């Protein structure tokens, strides 16, 4: 079994603070040694700290299992620990170093942050906002205000949602030239002088300002990819078969459906359970570390493998193919099927080889997203505007960060459809219509198969209640799901007694006038979101995706709970479901939504006035249903 080394200079080098390391260890500063190599080979064993925010001894004391493993604690935290929710503590020498650095920088020892400055900044500094947006500071245990005043502002970190450092310095070059602390300057005199703390150009402008080339994101993925033990072909053993005749179903997706919670993951899990009930073994292949685009050839990222829901290990693509060929050598009987749920992290060569070794050639390709059409799987040009999948090579692709990688996705999928007999399955008609515009693909058949359907429930909605109109955002607070629009509404009507704004989801976003209710659907509780919407008696749910959604379980859950769905014109299946089922409103734009709150027209959607019906949700078993029917 080959194991990655825990002294990787690529990983450690990006996180080790060289200035800090030399400053607090004079014996090292007098030499010309490689600092990364020094820490990896000897430093951590001597209890030295690699950065102000990480205490080597503190991490080992807090996590005895890491200490017992005998590995480099800093490497463990960077590659594994932080994803497991483990916390780092600050170096005991961090504060002294940061203060000294402040006094040292640019020779301005006469410009320290005074107690009065700190007291003034504390009046409007949002610690929860700062810690949420700067996980390294949260992990270090350092006081967030001290970090911001001494170092964070120089790194472009914002102190609150209402103050943007880059905007303030760009709009006020005299402040930038003076080198003073911009937030303190604004509070002390800038505001009274009429200076602007933050441009109000909208979330799309902010998103474009933060947009990074896809190449940079890929580089990040390479650096932060989990260090996984790689298994050999001899480790690939298919034990505990559920099928006496060795029937087999193979699936591909972008992650481990047994460990990650999400709509597609839950769908694949239901498919796996149903095939198990039908007496068919299930082999699932996924990239061992998340990868945002397709791979090519057989030199892609390592692949994780599940066998009947149990992890077999992680293999290089060639190793996996070799092990699978040996393991299936005597599987000469039984039914064969396969389904591709996502090609992210996979190459067409790898998929073709695996399904043919498994004894299949005809299978299903699910369009849960638009990976087959572009590296921008949501078809959002530069992450903000629905592009509609223009012809490859069009000028529209030339101005998009995903444009340079679009042909790669098209080529890999074209090869799939050329060598395999694939039936395309779309969760909704609106997606099938969009996908059919990609006439370079050549499926043997095409089907529409919704992931769920609503059936009338016997239960009735709760009797009318008093109180403000409850407007909720259910699910992940991301840009492409319309979260910034919901935030703008909550801020605009923060003090309006007619409305109450709620967020139902796993992640709490601090610093907003929004009531958070933790909700996370699992295999054991698939109806958690519907039940929460029903229990909280939500009047309306904003499900305003900017992208063309292929299917929205959240919209179905909201309707099933009796909440009116509010969405926009570009939301794909959400708009079609809402309009066709009479489950809410499809508004022409965001201004119309704001106008409904200003006028109070949104109040006509209150439960007490609508007396909405409730529904049960019946989930499909995806490919298992299609195989059963055929």
DSSP 129-175: HHHHH-HHHHHHT--HHHHHHHTGGGGT--SBTTB-HHHHHHH-HHH
Q: Measure Cα distances from 486 to 24, 158, 479, 586 in Å.
A: 47, 21, 10, 15
pLDDT at 386 over 70: yes
- Tell me which residue of 138, 198, 209, 133 sits closest to 165, measured CA to CA: 198
Mean pLDDT of 229-246: 79
Cβ-based burial of 68 (10 A; exposed 0-12, middle 13-18, buried ≥19): exposed
With bands split at pLDDT 50, 70 and 90, how would you rate the model's confidence at 459?
confident
How far, in Å, CA of 370 to CA of 377, rounded?
5
Mean pLDDT of 370-377: 95
| Weakest-pLDDT range from 26-35, 134-143, 468-477 | 26-35
pLDDT tens digits for 521-559? 887 888 999 999 999 999 999 999 999 999 999 999 999
Residue 630: per-residue pLDDT: 44
pLDDT tens digits for 402-450? 999 999 999 999 999 999 999 999 999 999 999 887 767 889 999 999 9
Residue 482: per-residue pLDDT: 94
- Tell me which residue of 311, 245, 242, 240 sits closest to 275, measured CA to CA: 242
Element (H, E) at 320: helix 317-327
Mean pLDDT of 96-109: 57
pLDDT tens digits for 188-223? 999 999 999 888 777 887 788 778 899 888 887 776
| Weakest-pLDDT range from 107-116, 124-133, 347-356, 620-629 | 107-116
How far, in Å, CA of 17 to CA of 24, rounded?
11
Residue 100: per-residue pLDDT: 60
- At how many degrees (to 10) do helices 483-492 and 203-210 cross? 130
| Weakest-pLDDT range from 135-144, 166-175, 300-309 | 135-144
Decide which of 295 and 225 is more confident.
295
Label each residue of 521-571 as H, E or C: CCCCCCCHHHHHHHHCCCCEEECCCCCCECCCHHHHHHHHCCCEEEECCCC
Residue 10: per-residue pLDDT: 57
Mean confidence (pLDDT) of the chain: 87
Label each residue of 231-293 as H, E or C: CCHHHCCCCCCCCCCCEEEEEECCCCCCCCCCHHHHHHHHHHHHHHHCCEEEEEEEECCCCCC
pLDDT at 117 over 80: yes
Place of tokens 């990074």: 212
pLDDT at 629 over 60: no
| Weakest-pLDDT range from 20-29, 60-69, 281-290 | 20-29
pLDDT at 108 over 80: no
How far, in Å, CA of 161 to CA of 511, rounded?
8
With bands split at pLDDT 50, 70 and 90, how would you rate the model's confidence at 162?
confident
* DSSP state, residue 192: T
* DSSP state, residue 362: E
With bands split at pLDDT 50, 70 and 90, how would you rate the model's confidence at 1?
very low
Residue 227: per-residue pLDDT: 65
- Tell me which residue of 28, 33, 25, 32 sits closest to 49, measured CA to CA: 25
* DSSP state, residue 427: S
Query: What percentage of residues in the chain have a pLDDT greater than 90?
Result: 53
Decide which of 101 and 618 is more confident.
618
Residue 89: per-residue pLDDT: 81
Query: What percentage of residues in the chain have a pLDDT greater than 70?
Result: 92
Q: Give the pTM.
A: 0.74
DSSP 18-83: HHHHHHH-HHHHTS---HHHHIIIIIGGGT--SBTTB-HHHHHHH-HHHHHHTS-HHHHHHHTGGG
- At how many degrees (to 10) do helices 590-599 and 483-492 cross? 30
Residue 627: per-residue pLDDT: 80
Structural domains for the chain: 9-92 (no CATH), 95-200 (no CATH), 233-453 (3.40.50), 460-613 (3.40.50.2000)
With bands split at pLDDT 50, 70 and 90, how would you rate the model's confidence at 104?
low
Mean pLDDT of 228-242: 81
- Tell me which residue of 605, 600, 590, 450 sits closest to 541, measured CA to CA: 605
How far, in Å, CA of 229 to CA of 240, rounded?
23
């Amino acid at each position: 079994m080959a194991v990655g080394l825990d002294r990787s200079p690529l990983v450690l080098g990006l996180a080790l603070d060289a200035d800090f390391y030399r400053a607090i260890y004079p014996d090292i500063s007098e030499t010309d040694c490689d600092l990364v190599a020094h820490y990896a080979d000897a430093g951590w064993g001597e209890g030295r700290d690699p950065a102000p925010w990480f205490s080597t001894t503190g991490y080992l004391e807090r996590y005895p299992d890491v200490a017992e493993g005998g590995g480099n604690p800093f490497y463990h935290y960077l590659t594994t620990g932080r994803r497991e929710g483990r916390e780092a503590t600050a170096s005991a020498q961090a504060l002294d170093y940061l203060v000294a650095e402040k006094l040292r920088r640019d020779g301005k020892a006469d410009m320290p942050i005074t107690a009065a400055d700190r007291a003034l900044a504390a009046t409007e500094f949002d610690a929860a906002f700062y810690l949420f947006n700067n996980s390294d500071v949260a992990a270090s245990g350092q006081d967030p205000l001290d970090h911001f005043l001494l170092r964070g502002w120089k790194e472009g970190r914002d102190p609150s949602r209402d103050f943007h450092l880059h905007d303030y310095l760009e709009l006020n070059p005299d402040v930038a030239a003076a080198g003073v602390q911009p937030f303190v300057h604004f509070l002390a005199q800038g505001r009274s002088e009429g200076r602007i703390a933050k441009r109000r150009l909208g979330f799309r402008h902010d998103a474009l300002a933060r947009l990074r080339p896809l190449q940079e994101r890929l580089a990040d993925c390479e650096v932060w990819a989990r260090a996984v033990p790689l298994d050999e072909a001899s480790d690939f053993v298919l034990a505990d078969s559920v099928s006496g005749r060795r029937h087999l179903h193979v699936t591909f997706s972008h992650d481990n459906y047994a460990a990650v919670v999400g709509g597609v993951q839950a769908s694949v899990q239901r498919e796996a359970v149903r095939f198990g009930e039908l007496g068919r073994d299930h082999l699932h292949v996924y990239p061992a570390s998340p990868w945002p685009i397709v791979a090519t050839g057989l030199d892609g990222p390592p692949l994780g493998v599940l066998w009947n829901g149990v992890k077999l290990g992680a293999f290089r693509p060639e190793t996996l193919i070799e092990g699978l060929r040996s393991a299936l050598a005597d599987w000469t009987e039984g039914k064969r099927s396969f389904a591709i749920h996502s090609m992210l992290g996979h190459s067409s060569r790898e998929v073709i080889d695996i399904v043919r070794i498994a004894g299949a050639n005809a299978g299903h390709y699910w369009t849960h997203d638009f990976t087959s059409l572009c590296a921008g799987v949501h078809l959002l040009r530069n992450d903000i505007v629905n592009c509609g999948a223009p012809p490859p090579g069009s000028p529209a692709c030339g101005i998009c960060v995903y444009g340079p990688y679009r042909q790669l996705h098209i080529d890999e999928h074209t090869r799939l459809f050329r060598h395999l007999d694939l039936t395309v399955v779309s969760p909704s008609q609106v997606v099938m219509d969009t996908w059919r515009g990609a006439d370079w693909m050549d499926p043997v058949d095409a089907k529409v198969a919704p992931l769920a359907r609503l059936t009338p429930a016997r239960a009735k909605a709760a009797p009318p209640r008093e109180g403000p109109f409850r407007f909720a955002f259910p699910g992940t607070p991301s840009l492409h799901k319309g979260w910034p629009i919901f935030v703008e509404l909550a801020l605009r009507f923060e003090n309006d007694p007619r409305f109450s704004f709620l967020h139902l989801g796993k992640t709490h976003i601090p610093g907003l006038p929004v009531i958070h209710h933790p909700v996370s659907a699992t295999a054991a509780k698939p109806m958690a979101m519907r039940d929460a919407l029903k229990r909280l008696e939500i009047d309306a749910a904003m499900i305003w995706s900017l992208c063309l959604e292929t299917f929205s379980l959240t919209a179905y859950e909201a309707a099933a709970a009796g909440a009116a769905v509010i969405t926009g014109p570009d939301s794909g299946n959400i708009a079609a479901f809402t309009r066709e089922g009479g489950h809410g409103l499809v508004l022409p734009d965001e201004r119309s939504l704001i106008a409904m709150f200003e006028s109070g027209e949104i109040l006509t959607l209150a439960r007490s006035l609508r007396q909405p019906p409730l529904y049960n949700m019946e989930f499909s078993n995806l490919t298992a249903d299609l195989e059963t029917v055929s």
